[in-house]
Structure 1
């Protein structure tokens, strides 16, 4: 929040003591603040080093209503696990009833105390009402799920003066906590927990497919224990309809469990309230896989997980290597090749790890034939490719093996121009192929199961869609899909969950559409770039084109964006984040290796893609 806002006052830390050895900062809860006057801002705390923990001070003796409000808001941004200090600013009854875990409201610049905290016309001298106000940015619900928000925030807090002690305390307030964006970024971190796609298995071994479910946890308040509890509580409401958990209903950490951390062998033991007889060996291994994939977000060096039952008996254990064979996980699958179209509009490829610029035709009719293509997509196993030819009218599917003919198109579009015809196709790990027809007279989304469909492509219902699909990128897990949708001249990025036919004959649909980049109004290109991360090219209102990462829940990611690149028309990233970014720009095909600048690959190339 700007320090020079009219009537605003920069936060004064009345007493702040830093303990270097313990990494602790104490925030004075009674920063100087008048009890009357103009609107006051509770400014967000500057970002702190990740090794520093912040604790608030309790209310000072004789603090006035304004100081109590200021101190309470300070305490909400501290690293106090149970908000014990914040509760000291409340009456005993309010402290007992208040539920801070029910929600977190994020404001652009921190909450402002809108009134002078004086008594209202019907209030006694020992009773006042204050109003907190601000501009909403987001909310985090009781399931720790993030959702972008906008509009004004206004909440009343009521304070009373104890007639015996003479101390002011808050006796009426809403559940949840509120803080500014910078405090939220300091206090919370986004972590993916993992479930399995419902009724989905891939490969000859029938592996379940891991699906990321991002949530926000308090980064310095026992985050590993928080994440295990969140995992056991089940998926967020948005993702829940399309995933399953291998943990039996009612599974929880054993009573009193806390401070979960890997041992000196980088292995973690998780104590559960389960009896050994309740868990089959195969299910236990899947449970351990969910824990391992989830906690590696917080501990990248974690090498193994052991699950313990009620009596301390070992239910099962799992190593990192074993987990890869238990579940199919998109970000652990390193693509072998990068693919794009050469100057003759035929499919070519080059090894992912190559530092050179030489590409060779892909085996089979899409690389060795005569058909000119506008786009290409390669299956996750890199055995099959789909190409859109005939100026965007026709979709072809062919094996990536030498020889063979292209055959008849599996789908055609009657759109009036190439931009109104078929999008670039996209594959999921099941081997299903997704493509949209942009025909303005009959826009549709299709899926071809196993890349060929059952005689003809299946049309996919998108009941919440308002606009026309301009681009499609399905997640590797086949449970989520990113759509670029055009409406009223703007192109926005939406994320939907894929509901598959459960035997009721309802077919496949994309439901629960929600914005993934709400501040971008002209999204021109998108690619999956991690378990729950997307690489997006677009621009804000009145802004210039930019390339940046976004989370599927619409939250903003910390860290640098890719270097600026003019005239980007297409991007290619991989769920394996170690793979270089690739783009098609005014310089042709370019790539961005880690720690380097953009490098030219092929000045005549177009339409770059990694498998998927």
Structure 2
């Protein structure tokens, strides 16, 4: 306990607990100006319908023009109200209170979360004196304020939840996750429950970042039928979704894909069980019915009905398969084919998502080869070769996307490049990275199962950061042309990131350090958002990490001291193999 120094007032917000609700309190008669500001900031954190109570702190004109749905400014802690700035001769009738904090993210009107490196946030709330409601006396009210909401991170996490909307990859027949945030309970502005909010967000279309590479099967302009604010399932767990006239004439195949988009999107709502959806016209007639089983046809990774196997490279450079679901530890076995015989020692590896082939980087880091792991075949010539002098400047660990394309980075400082091998065979294609600044290079990469996003570890100015890029594909002169564009920082609060893996449709497991902190393993959404429950048990000196596409298999990591270890849900890290490296799940 401190035994000297001044007593200081601090402002804090309760941790984000979704079971806690804040009820707004309207301003009391004759309230001082600072009470009005504090009351309004607190009222912004409530679920009050239409933010009606928060608007009572505003002048009539400000109440009409304030748009809380326009944006959300997310601060590390509750906004700090400072002493008022005097406004000259009229200081008795007008006051301006600065509010400040450290902004960590913005949420736009399309519900998209955008993290930023913590930056100073400074706005002002201006108050004037107006006539009281009874016509007697004066009351302080806010007449100028920032548009949107200003919330602490804990208040944001208490009021909002992350869900994935799903759209079809452009030119393909599988879906892509698009994470956004909706209210945990009824939305104060639209009065919609979480299910209706989710459907509305899907119908509004993809977020601006993902829009260039995905398409919706819902006709442009499709919305929920006017007046629909609540959607509930019947006793058969069927959700009926009435749409407006824009969707009245869609064909059956298009409607099946519309239903699949809905079912994938609604699957994140744990509070409601939905087995099928019935899409309806505005007049109540049926468009089509789709079930969860039918929707799986459009998944980027098909359910196999079994837990995924992990793979790693043993001390001799041999590719080993490691069943991770059982209780037995250390029961690894060599794969079939050239990589399992030890004749072509490996440094790192990636296994195709159908577990039929593997791509391996030679032990010296120079060559990338592909071989079968289910039968014995002769090892094919190298697909990509690095000419870098130092081993650490040669090829990164490879990665397969769901299309069957193979990716690798050449870290040669004289010629850094990102390469893609179509279908894992044939000539490698250079991948354009127009946003990479000179001097930056790709240290490691992991491509999503849907093939339209890639997680990159970028080394620049002595730091390694995690960025998510959008994969755009064209055909030029009969040849594929691939670009990674619009890079977004996914972990801006981490000073350095050392390993990353996809852990589902829109989630990553990341190893890194925050400024002044220790190494941690945690989950991060691809939009850069996190939760207090995202930090995993600690593990020292992690060299690699990999996660399954679903939650049926544990996370697997490579550690300098512990070898190959696994982390099952609710457990701690458990050693599996004392000596090994490059652990991977298919992908």
1:101 aligns to what SS in structure 2? coil
Equivalent residue number for residue 595 of structure 1: 570
Matched, 1:373 2:346: yes
Q: In structure 1, what is the Cα distance between the partners aligned to 2:305 and 2:420?
A: 23
Once the two structures are TM-superposed, the CA of residue 501 in structure 1 deviates from its matched residue by 0.8
Task: Tell me: CA distance 1:210–1:335, structure 2 relative to 1, closer, same or farther (3 Å).
Answer: farther
Query: How far 1:472 moved relative to its partner?
Result: 0.7
Report the Cα offset of residue 355 of structure 1: 2.9
CA deviations 1:137-158 (Å, max 9, x no partner) are 2111111111123322222222
How many matched pairs?
567
Structure 1, residues 190-221: CA drift from partner, whole Å, max 9, x if none? Answer: 11111111112xxxxxxx22211111112122
Counterparts of 1:419-458 in structure 2, within 5 Å, are 419-453=392-426, 456-458=427-429
Distance 1:124 1:502, change over 3 A: farther
Note the C-alpha offset of 1:533. 1.0
CA contact (8 A) 2:237 2:273 kept: yes
Whether 1:128 aligns to 2:95 is: yes
**Of the candidates 165, 169, 184, which is equivalent to residue 156 of structure 2?**
184
Q: Please tell me whether residue 252 in structure 1 is matched to residue 223 in structure 2.
A: yes
Secondary structure of the residue that 2:254 maps to in structure 1? helix
Aligned to 1:230: 201
Answer yes or no: is 1:344 the counterpart of 2:316.
yes
CA contact (8 A) 1:285 1:326 kept: no
Secondary structure, in 3 states, of the residue corresponding to 1:246?
coil
Q: Distance in 1 between matches of 2:33 and 2:520?
A: 46
**Unmatched runs of 5 consecutive residues or more in structure 1:** 11-40, 201-207
CA contact (8 A) 2:248 2:281 kept: no
- 2:482 is the counterpart of 1:508: yes
Q: Is 2:578 the partner of 1:606?
A: no
Cα shift at 1:9: 4.1
CA–CA distance in 2 between the matches of 1:509 and 1:230? 28
Match runs of 1:388-537 below 5 Å: 388-453=361-426, 456-466=427-437, 467-501=440-474, 507-537=481-511
Aligned-partner Cα distance in 2 for 1:142–1:5: 45
Cα distance in structure 2, aligned partners of 1:225 and 1:310: 16
Report whether the alignment pairs 1:147 with 2:114.
yes
Question: 1:311 aligned to 283, 287, 290, which one?
Answer: 283
The CA distance in 2 between the partners of 1:580 and 1:484, in whole Å, is 23
Q: What corresponds to 2:190 in structure 1?
A: none
> Aligned partners of 1:128 and 1:561: how far apart in 2?
43
Aligned counterparts of 2:301 and 2:233: Cα–Cα separation in 1: 22
Q: Is the 8 A contact 1:334 1:576 kept in 2?
A: no
CA distance in 1, matches of 2:387, 2:474: 28
Among 30, 54, 76, the residue aligned to 1:86: 54
Report the equivalent of 2:74.
Answer: 106
CA contact (8 A) 1:333 1:576 kept: no
* Distance in 1 (alpha carbons) for counterparts of 2:32 and 2:480: 62
- TM, length-normalised to structure 2: 0.92
> Is the contact between residue 330 and residue 477 of structure 1 (CA under 8 Å) also seen in structure 2?
no
Contact in 2 for aligned 1:330/1:476 (Cα 8 Å):
no
Partner of 2:181: 216
Where does residue 555 of structure 1 map in the other structure? Answer: 529
How far has the Cα of 1:330 moved from its partner? Answer: 6.8
Secondary structure of the residue aligned to 1:415 is coil
Structure 1 residues 166-203: Cα deviation after superposition (integer angstroms, max 9, x where no partner): 22211122210102122112111111111111112xxx
Paired position in structure 1 for 2:238: 267
Query: How much does 1:568 deviate?
Result: 1.2
Q: Using the alignment, how far apart are the partners of 1:7 and 1:107 within structure 2?
A: 25
**Root-mean-square deviation (Å):** 2.2
Give the secondary-structure state (helix, strand or coil) at the position aligned to 2:269: coil
Gapped regions of structure 2 (runs ≥ 5): 187-192
Alignment partners' CA distance in 1, 2:356 and 2:307:
12
Q: Post-superposition shift, 1:440?
A: 1.0
1:549-601 Cα offsets, whole Å, 9 max, x none, are: 11111112331522222221111111212211111112211111222222222
State the TM-score, normalizing by the size of structure 1: 0.88
* SS of residue matched to 1:186: helix
| Shift of residue 276, structure 1, vs aligned partner | 6.2
| In structure 1, C-alpha distance between the alignment counterparts of 2:461 and 2:26, rounded to whole Å | 53
1:327 and 1:56 mapped to 2: Cα distance?
A: 43
